[in-house]
Amino acid sequence: MGKFLLDFERPLEELQNQLDELKRTRASQKEDIAQEIAGLEAQLQELRREVYSRLTPWQRIQIARHPERPAALDYVHRITSHFTELHGDRLYRDDPAIVAGLAYVGQRPIALIAEQKGRTTKDKVARNFGMPHPEGYRKALRVAKLAEKFSLPLLCLIDTAGAYPGVGAEERGQAWAIAESLREFSHLRTRIIVVNLGEGGSGGALAIGLGDRLYMLENAWYSVIAPEGCASILFGDASQAPDAARSLRLTAADVLALGIGDGIVPEPVGGAHRDPESAAWQVSRQVQRALEELEAMPIEAVVAERLRRIREIGVFVAGSNRTPQVESSRKG
C-alpha cells in the first residue's frame, strides 16, 4: 500500500495484510491455498474499486497532497527530454519554487514553467513547499516571453497551495507580480497548455494558469481558497474543511462541469503515486494531443479564443446541463 496511508485507505491495508499473510503461509507450507488467495485478491480488487470510485472532495484533496505523489519535476523528467533550466528574474533572485526552462516534448521544442514542491524535507524547505515569491512569477513571465519571441508552445504545470503570503513577498510586490502575469498570459502570442498536477491554490496557481487548454489530473483541485482557509473564514473552525471542500466545487469534475477546464487526466487507481509512470504517460498523451490541436489553428485565432474563454469564466447559462466526462483509457 505504500509508506503513507490515508484514513479511508485503512480497510484496504487490513485486507492486504491478510493476503500477504496467506502468501507467506503458502510459501512455508505444502498446503495448497491458491483458491483462497485468489478469492482474497478478488475481494481486495473489488474493495479498492469501491473505495476510490466514491471519493469525497476532501478525500481527493488528501490524495492531491499525498507525500508520495509525483511532483512537477517528476513529470518533467518523464514527459520531456533535453530539459534546460533557466534561473532568475533579472531583478532580485532565483525562486526555486518555480522551475522554468526549455525542453522537448516528443520532437517539439517547448518552453516550460512548473511549480515544484520538493521531495525531501530539505528540498521542500529550499523550494518553500512550492509557494512562489514574486520573483518566481517574474522568472516565469520571462520564460513565457521567450516562448512568445521564438514561437515555442508553453507548457505550465500547476501544483501549489498558493503564492507565498510572507511579509517579504508582499514588500517585493506579490500582488503586482501575479496581476502582471495574468495580464501578459492572457495576450501572449503563443500556444499555452496548462496541467494541474495536484493542488491549484488561488492566485498562486492562476498566475501561470491562463492558457488555451486546462487539464486536471483526476484527484487534483483548483480553488480561490484552500478548504481550511475557507472554513476558518466562514465557520471560524478550520476542522470543517471537509464541508467547505464540498461547497467550493474544486474537484476536477467540478471545474470541467463549470466550463473552466477542458479535460480530466485519469490517474491509476488510488492516485498518481501508485504508478507514476502511468500517470506521466497519461499527461504526456494529453499534452501532445493538445499541441496538435492548437498548432492546427492560426495564432490570431488561438489568442482570440483564449480571450473569449477568460471573459466567459463566471458567466452562467440558465438550463445548462454540461456533464463532466473522465477519460477512461489507461496505459496498457
Q: What are phi and psi of 63, to 5 degrees?
A: -65, -40
For residue 166, the model assigns a pLDDT of 95
For residue 6, the model assigns a pLDDT of 87
For residues 9 and 332, the model is more confident at 9
Separation CA 142–CA 118 (nearest Å): 22
Tell me the per-residue pLDDT of 206-224, one tens digit each, with 9 for 90 and over.
999 999 999 999 999 999 9
Q: Which residue has the cell 525542453?
A: 103
Whether the per-residue pLDDT at 99 is higher than 90: the answer is yes
C-alpha cell at 229: 482557509
Amino acid at 325: Q
For residues 137 and 313, the model is more confident at 137
For residue 45, the model assigns a pLDDT of 82
Is CATH 2.60.450.10 the classification given to domain 61-312?
no
Domain map of the chain by residue range? 7-54, 61-312
Tell me the per-residue pLDDT of 37-47, one tens digit each, with 9 for 90 and over.
787 788 788 88
Separation CA 27–CA 47 (nearest Å): 25
Tell me the per-residue pLDDT of 227-270, one tens digit each, with 9 for 90 and over.
999 999 999 999 999 999 999 999 999 999 998 999 999 999 99
For residue 330, the model assigns a pLDDT of 40
User: Are 167 and 128 in contact, with CB atoms under 8 Å apart?
Assistant: no
Per-residue pLDDT band at 328 (split at 50, 70, 90)? very low
Q: Please state, for a pLDDT cut of 90, what percent of the chain lies above it.
A: 76
Query: What number is the average pLDDT over the span 196-200?
Result: 97
Tell me the per-residue pLDDT of 278-300, one tens digit each, with 9 for 90 and over.
999 999 999 999 999 999 999 99
For residue 331, the model assigns a pLDDT of 41
Q: Which residue has the cell 492562476?
A: 206
Q: Which residue has the cell 533535453?
A: 82
Q: What are phi and psi of 253, to 5 degrees?
A: -65, -40
Tell me the per-residue pLDDT of 45-74, one tens digit each, with 9 for 90 and over.
888 888 888 899 999 999 999 999 999 999
Say how many Å lie between the first and final Cα of the chain, rounded: 21
C-alpha cell at 163: 503564492
* Inter-helix orientation angle 276-295/72-79, to 10°: 70
Collapsed DSSP state (helix, strand, coil) of residue 316: coil
CA angle 313, 112, 307 (to 5 degrees): 25
For residue 29, the model assigns a pLDDT of 62
For residue 38, the model assigns a pLDDT of 80
Indicate the average pLDDT of the chain: 90
For residue 141, the model assigns a pLDDT of 97
Per-residue pLDDT band at 332 (split at 50, 70, 90)? very low
